[in-house]
């Protein structure tokens, strides 16, 4: 999975503060921890879903929207909060394949509201794929491999990020219980980066926690999921 590392690489201008020095460091760290949440955190609609959708941990459907909350805590306890919005906005034909464009915006309490990343996504039996550019010939990478299997491990080809499917767990996020969530861990060999996130059926990622050796912590929690139209 190149996603949780690579998919968050465009976020370093997401927010900044002239009065709290730690926030500037947060911005540097922030670029490492957004993506296969990709990236992504959400409330499941009460509408009927098919059996296939009930087993879909990587929902890629036009119109899907995710609303989540961000909390960044520095080693000395300073906290910056914000809100994240992700939408699958339109269909793109590129290099003989069909993608859906993903747009992500964040509004931080200390910093500007701006789009920090746009990606092209497509899903097949091998997993979730993405491109960071819609230019012809742009490199496609794998974000999450399918099927998800407890105990499976793999390493990305660029950042040497080791990914492990830890297990199936039940977690509570924003007062809502999500059952049968795949807990996936992403880490660098030297321990300088660790990302634990949870993929729930129908919704996708509902919780993402990144902890750095210096104690800086990023947490992204799903607040609401709005499914696209059938």
Answer yes or no: is pLDDT of 22 > 90. Answer: no
Question: What is the predicted pLDDT for the residue at 43?
Answer: 25
Please report whether residue 119 resides in a domain: yes
Say whether 215 sits in a helix, a strand or coil: coil
Query: Other CB atoms closer than 10 Å to residue 81's CB: what's the count?
Result: 14
| CATH number of the domain that residue 203 is part of | 2.40.360
Structural domains of the chain, count: 1
Q: Give the domain extent around 15.
A: 3-225
Answer yes or no: is pLDDT of 101 > 90. Answer: yes
pLDDT (tens digit, 9 = 90+) per residue, 120-146?
999 998 888 999 988 889 999 888 888
Can you point out the beta strands (E) in the chain? 65-73, 79-94, 97-108, 113-124, 127-131, 141-145, 153-155, 162-173, 176-187, 194-200, 204-211, 217-226
Please report whether residue 150 resides in a domain: yes
Q: For residue 121, count CB atoms less than 10 angstroms from its CB and return exposed for 0-12, middle for 13-18, buried for 19 or more.
A: buried
pLDDT (tens digit, 9 = 90+) per residue, 174-186?
999 999 999 999 8
Cα Rg, the chain, nearest whole Å = 17
- Rounded to whole angstroms, how far apart are CA atoms 82 and 220? 9
Please report whether residue 164 resides in a domain: yes
DSSP strand pairing (162-173 vs 217-226): unpaired
Answer yes or no: is pLDDT of 157 > 60. Answer: no
Please report whether residue 230 resides in a domain: no
């Amino acid at each position: 999975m190149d996603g949780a590392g690579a998919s968050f690489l465009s976020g370093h201008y997401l927010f900044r503060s002239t009065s709290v020095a730690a926030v500037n460091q947060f911005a540097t760290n922030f670029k490492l921890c957004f993506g296969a949440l990709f990236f992504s955190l959400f409330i499941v609609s009460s509408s009927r879903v098919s059996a296939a959708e009930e087993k879909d941990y990587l929902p890629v459907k036009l119109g899907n929207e995710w609303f989540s909350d961000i909390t960044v805590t520095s080693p000395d306890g300073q906290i910056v909060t914000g809100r994240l919005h992700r939408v699958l906005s339109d269909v793109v034909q590129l290099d003989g394949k069909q993608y859906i464009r993903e747009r992500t915006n964040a509004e931080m309490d200390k910093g500007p509201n701006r789009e920090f990343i746009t990606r092209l996504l497509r899903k097949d039996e091998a997993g979730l794929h993405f491109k960071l550019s819609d230019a012809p010939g742009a490199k496609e990478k794998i974000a999450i491999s399918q099927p998800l299997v407890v105990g499976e491990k793999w390493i990305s080809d660029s950042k040497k990020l080791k990914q492990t499917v830890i297990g199936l767990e039940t977690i509570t996020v924003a007062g809502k219980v999500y059952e049968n969530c795949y807990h996936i861990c992403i880490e660098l060999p030297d321990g300088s980066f660790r990302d634990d996130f949870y993929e729930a059926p129908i919704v996708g990622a509902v919780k993402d926690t990144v902890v750095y050796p210096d104690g800086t912590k990023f947490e992204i929690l799903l607040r609401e999921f709005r499914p696209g139209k059938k």
